[in-house]
Chains A and B, each alone.
Chain A
């Protein structure tokens, strides 16, 4: 399961960064593409704006086949306050831009990517390719919420992967 989560994150981050390289976030002094997994970062009470925050919320395992099929639900939350220079009046347009980027990244073909094992990867060490793929469905977008002028939306996407022998 963890390999599928890691693979999906790296794929989605790469696609979103290709669509909009200027969407970035500074994490511990380093500029990164503006996509992160909440559970992989230091806990914090602040919510970063204008970036995509992924959370793994649902899990279902179908063990009827020889390789168990794992279905995971990934929630992708994003919000914006608008540009301060524009007094936040462009927040609707910025949220629409993020909607379009996410839809384009998740709708791009192919809907599969080869599952990779990143546990031994590091600087100069490539991840290990595994024998099965990770699949994803089309996303479902939730309603926009507006709190104190901040617009936010959460989209969910189902991610499927086969659990290989010996895989955690």
Chain B
């Protein structure tokens, strides 16, 4: 089995596992590109619009978020690489890391979670799943 087909098989197998574990759909909230040389955006007067892009299948790695007093709760999301690659390709991002860096957050139901960190797991030199560390908004911290 070549490396390419091996990595594709790993990605497909991961998709199957994510769906089997109750894979759900979340939305990746992306701001629209900035307007070149528009000083009002730099001054916070004009604000970007957002578009929500579906990510599926995804699964929470931990059923419960990590909790601590006065600290925003964090949770980890496993994301299908095929879903990410489809968005990276259609929106012409250089890589998945650039896509996640540009994203404003992940919309899970009615809750917008901030992306704190991202990482990927690889097989045969290609990623087969992405891990997103998410943080709930500080407004929900009690």
Interface residue ranges, A against B (CB under 8 Å): 6, 9-10, 13, 27-30, 32, 36-37, 39-43, 45-46, 118-119, 121-123
Contacts and interface: CB of A to CB of B under 8 A. Distances in A.
20 contacts: A9-B42, A10-B39, A10-B43, A27-B34, A28-B32, A28-B33, A28-B48, A29-B33, A29-B102, A30-B33, A40-B44, A42-B31, A42-B48, A42-B104, A45-B117, A118-B39, A118-B45, A121-B40, A121-B45, A122-B40
Contact of B43 (A30, A40, A43, A123): A40
Contact of A28 (B31, B40, B44, B116): B31
Nearest to A46: B101
A45 B137 CA distance: 12
Contacts, number: 55
Given A28-B33, A28-B34, A28-B102, A40 B48 contact: no
Interface of B: 31-40, 42-46, 48, 101-102, 104, 114-117, 135
A122 B42 contact: no
Nearest to A28: B34
B101 A37 contact: no
B31 A37 contact: no
Contacts of B104: 42
A122 B43 contact: no
A41 B31 CA distance: 11
Given A28-B48, A46-B101, A118 B40 contact: yes
Contacts of A36: 42
Nearest to B115: A45
A40 B38 contact: no
B38 A122 contact: yes
B34 A39 contact: no
Contacts of B45: 118-119, 121
